[in-house]
């Protein structure tokens, strides 16, 4: 590499199907009704053929790249909407074409209510090492506002089934500061998370995305906008409960037991390389970023044409300034810190003030690393703005 950084190579694989759409979600995913009966579009059965072909396109495009794959992350949508054998076939194809590095981390997301013990056993036997479940909350009233289809207890049955199938690494996603959520609801959620024995938690404050049913409910006054102060207090509750239980933060929205950190996502935050397979998937290889055709049918047609350029809906080559900005934005999100040499001299001058205001750990003035304090994590965007002004 020209900059001397040895970058790992990962694969992200996008499964664009959901049984129903949660009211808050604007991910690139489709229900059967949204895809319709158009025979030209892809189905839960045919998705795998196109995904396999895109892996082969990736191999041709990266013909000179000798790196084995360090991590694979199957996300969605709901990966468990397609048969377990299909997820395994895609993983096998990645292994055949690129080779999997020793100890490669292989994750799939899964919805608690569409994942069975047999499914988990099949993908574990097929090489998957990590499961990520969208739990969101243990309060039935909160799940109702979020329009989730699972009951809270279903997540814990699925976690137990994942462990019985041999998964050592299990994550649950949480959403906090949903309108109507109380401190007691979150406390119960955290108690259940800790009792379940998962080794990783991702927690996101509810974002009201344009164009979602949630946004329409807020606009009509049926639900209040999530409150920033409540969100900050809830973040502190999550951080304190997880830290006390031996799961410290390692990225702003992620906490893990030792050894449980998600290597694939760390690759994103360190600006390493990954190829995104599937409709709308983003890639970053060799300093180029691109994103695939968004609609499943358009993506499938481009895959059949077999041409990497036709797969791309857009691309960019970030210049040095954009790369530097991104390095700061991603680096300060991580507990391991941002090396001071990534900052220009103006930013280094702003550090003393940020330390005095309690937003950056004082060690930054001695140790060449910028690490956010808890107060800094709550204002991470503002810190980045000051460091990059």
How does DSSP classify residue 294? S
**Closer CB to ligand SAM, 79 or 260, in the complex:** 79
Q: Phi/psi of residue 76, each to 5°?
A: -160, -150
Q: What does the block give as tokens for 314?
A: 């857009």
Q: Which of 9, 13, 22, 106 binds ligand SF4 (CB under 6 A)?
A: 22
Could you tell me which of 177, 192, 173 has the C-alpha nearest to residue 142? Answer: 177
Question: Alpha-carbon distance 373 to 359, whole Å?
Answer: 5
Q: How many helices (H) and strands (E) does the chain have?
A: 16, 14
Compose the 84-123 pattern: x for residues touching ligand SF4 by CB under 6 A, - for all others. Answer: ---------------------------x------------
User: To the nearest whole angstrom, how small is the minimum distance from the Cβ of residue 342 to ligand SF4?
Assistant: 33
With beta carbons less than 8 A apart as the criterion, state whether 16 and 201 touch: no
193 binds ligand SAM (CB under 6 A): no
Compose the 125-164 pattern: x for residues touching ligand SAM by CB under 6 A, - for all others. Answer: ---------x-x----------------------------
Per CB under 6 A, contacts with ligand SF4 among 70-89 are 76-78
111 binds ligand SAM (CB under 6 A): yes
**Closer CB to ligand SAM, 22 or 311, in the complex:** 22
Count Cβ atoms below 10 Å from residue 326 Cβ, excluding itself.
14
In sequence order, the 6+-apart residues with CB closer than 8 A to the CB of 241 are 187, 190, 194
279 binds ligand SAM (CB under 6 A): no
Please confirm whether the linkage preceding 77 is cis (ω < 30° from 0). Answer: yes
Q: Which of 29, 71, 108, 293 binds ligand SF4 (CB under 6 A)?
A: 29
Facing residues of 360 across strands? 372
78 binds ligand SAM (CB under 6 A): yes
**Closer CB to ligand SAM, 251 or 386, in the complex:** 251
Question: Alpha-carbon distance 80 to 267, whole Å?
Answer: 24
User: To the nearest whole angstrom, how small is the minimum distance from the Cβ of residue 388 to ligand SF4?
Assistant: 31
145 binds ligand SF4 (CB under 6 A): no
* Dihedral angle, C-alpha 341, 346, 348, 349, nearest 10 °: 160
- What residues line the site for ligand SF4 (CB under 6 A)? 18, 21-22, 25, 27, 29, 76-78, 111, 134
- What residues line the site for ligand SAM (CB under 6 A)? 24-25, 27, 75-76, 78, 109, 111, 134, 136, 173, 175, 204, 206-207, 209
């Amino acid at each position: 590499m020209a900059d001397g950084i040895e970058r790992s190579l990962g694969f992200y694989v996008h499964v664009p199907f959901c049984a129903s759409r949660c009211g808050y979600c604007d991910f690139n995913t489709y229900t059967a009704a949204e895809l319709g009966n158009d025979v030209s579009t892809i189905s839960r059965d045919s998705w795998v053929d196109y995904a396999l072909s895109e892996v082969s396109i990736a191999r041709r495009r990266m013909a000179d790249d000798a790196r084995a794959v360090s991590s694979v992350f199957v996300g969605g949508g709901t990966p468990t909407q397609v048969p377990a054998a299909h997820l395994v076939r895609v993983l096998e194809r990645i292994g055949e074409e690129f080779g999997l590095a020793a100890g490669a981390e292989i994750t799939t997301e899964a919805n608690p209510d569409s994942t069975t013990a047999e499914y988990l056993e099949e993908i574990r036997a097929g090489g998957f090492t990590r499961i990520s479940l969208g739990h969101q909350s243990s309060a039935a009233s909160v799940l109702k506002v979020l329009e989730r289809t699972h009951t809270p207890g279903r997540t814990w049955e699925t976690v137990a089934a994942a462990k019985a199938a041999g998964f050592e690494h299990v994550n649950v996603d949480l959403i906090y500061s949903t309108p109507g959520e109380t401190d007691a609801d979150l406390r119960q959620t955290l108690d259940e998370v800790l009792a379940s024995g998962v080794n990783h938690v991702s927690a996101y404050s509810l974002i009201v995305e344009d164009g979602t049913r949630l946004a329409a409910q807020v606009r009509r006054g049926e639900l209040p906008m999530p409150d920033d102060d409540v969100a900050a207090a809830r973040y502190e509750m999550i951080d304190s409960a997880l830290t006390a239980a031996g799961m410290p933060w390692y990225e702003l929205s992620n906490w893990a037991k030792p050894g449980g950190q998600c290597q694939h996502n760390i690759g994103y935050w360190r600006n390493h390389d990954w190829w995104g397979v599937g409709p709308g998937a983003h890639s970053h290889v060799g300093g180029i970023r691109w994103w695939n055709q968004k609609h499943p049918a358009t993506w499938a047609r481009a895959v059949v044409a077999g041409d990497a350029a036709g797969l791309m809906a857009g691309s960019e080559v970030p210049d040095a300034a954009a790369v530097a900005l991104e390095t700061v934005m991603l680096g300060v999100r991580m507990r391991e810190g941002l090396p001071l040499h990534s900052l220009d001299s103006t930013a280094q001058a702003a550090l003393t003030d940020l330390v005095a205001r309690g937003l950056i750990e004082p060690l930054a003035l001695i140790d060449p690393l910028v690490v956010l304090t808890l107060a800094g994590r709550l204002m991470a965007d503002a810190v980045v703005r000051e460091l990059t002004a």
